[in-house]
Amino acid sequence: MKIAYMAVLGIAVLAVAAVLGAAVWEGQHVAPALTAKVTPDPKRGEYLIRAGGCIACHTEEQALKDKGPILGGGRALKTPFGTFYGPNITKDPVHGIGKWSDAEFVRAFRAGRSPAGHNYYPAFPYTSFAGADERDLLDIKAYIFTLPSLAKPSKPHEVGFPYNLRFGLTFWKWIYFERVRFRPDPAKSAEWNRGAYLVNHLAHCGECHTPRNALGGFKSDMVLAGARTLEGGTAPNITPDQETGIGQWSESAVVDALKSGMLPDGDFVGGAMTDVVNHGTSHLNDADLKAIAVYLKSVKPVRNKVEKKK
């Protein structure tokens, strides 16, 4: 009896501590100081924003088709949790990020936290971006600030209870969000390390190609092994497994797929990969594409076939 009472009390104390802890964490509103000492370079940012695949998620489909102004937001991302809309990230001071400091911008990616201190939904793939280089992020910001500002309010997300409670994301982040930093492996080549950085962080390939568990975290033993994408498509296995992955692809076949969308069998990538190629990887230079290929060919092969949904 007494033991049961103690257990209940213990759980209650833990629960209260968890809520208080979450509230304190939620309340950390000051972005940490930055370490980069280089003046941001918008030209570099123009390249890196492609590597980051930012344009497709933050630009309305019509504007993309019309080659209209980019980053005004409004692109719908349909998920089982509801529909998210990429917000306006132009330099508009009211509807965009015009008033953000560099530190606030970096924190959005590295900690998934807004200037006002709220948590972002992982529909914004900060789970991968957390490892992005501070200088790369500031170059991207500098490039965004060279573009016209669009005075267009961001569309509110259409998500039901309980996902509409951003507070709940605190718990999700405790479980799934690691504040990863990219650490180059000195035993590997510079090319391999560049590929690892792009695949796992800036170009966030795993956000679609790595399967997730019930709460949306990556299955850590199946990195890049293929998955149903949140939008309901199928992202194939891109580990070097001979049968179910890209084991039989040459490096240049991987480069071609990312550059032009053309697959070894002469077909073209479709679905969500179309945007990745058109507004992302097709703009990357051969050295970066080769680095991605070298890295992909080196990861642990995982046998996993994701059946295409008809």
Task: Give 300's contacts (C-beta < 8 A, 6+ positions apart).
Answer: 223, 239
Determine contact, residues 55/70, Cβ cutoff 8 Å: yes
Residue 142 binds ligand HEC, judged by CB under 6 A: no
The interface region with ligand HEC, picked from 21-29, 180-188, 267-275, 298-306 by CB under 6 A, is 267-275
Which amino acid belongs to residue 185? D
Which position among 22, 70, 123, 130 is part of the footprint of ligand HEC (CB under 6 A)? 123
Tell me the closest approach of the beta carbon of residue 245 to ligand HEC, in angstroms.
8
Tokens 């005004």, residue?
A: 72
Chain residues 37-66 in contact with ligand HEC, contact rule CB under 6 A: 52-54, 57-58
Residue 140 binds ligand HEC, judged by CB under 6 A: yes
Which position among 110, 281, 290, 302 is part of the footprint of ligand HEC (CB under 6 A)? 281
Q: What does the alpha-carbon distance between residue 1 and residue 7 come to, in Å, rounded to a whole number?
A: 10
Task: Give 83's contacts (C-beta < 8 A, 6+ positions apart).
Answer: 76, 77, 157, 158, 159
The interface region with ligand HEC, picked from 13-21, 22-30, 60-68, 230-238 by CB under 6 A, is 230-238
Which position among 25, 124, 171, 192 is part of the footprint of ligand HEC (CB under 6 A)? 124
Tell me the closest approach of the beta carbon of residue 66 to ligand HEC, in angstroms.
20
CA dist list (Å): 28 to 104, 108, 119? 12, 13, 11
| Torsion, Cα of 176, 181, 187, 189 (10° steps) | 110
Decide whether 32 or 270 has the Cβ nearer to ligand HEC: 270
Residue 31 binds ligand HEC, judged by CB under 6 A: no
Decide whether 158 or 178 has the Cβ nearer to ligand HEC: 158
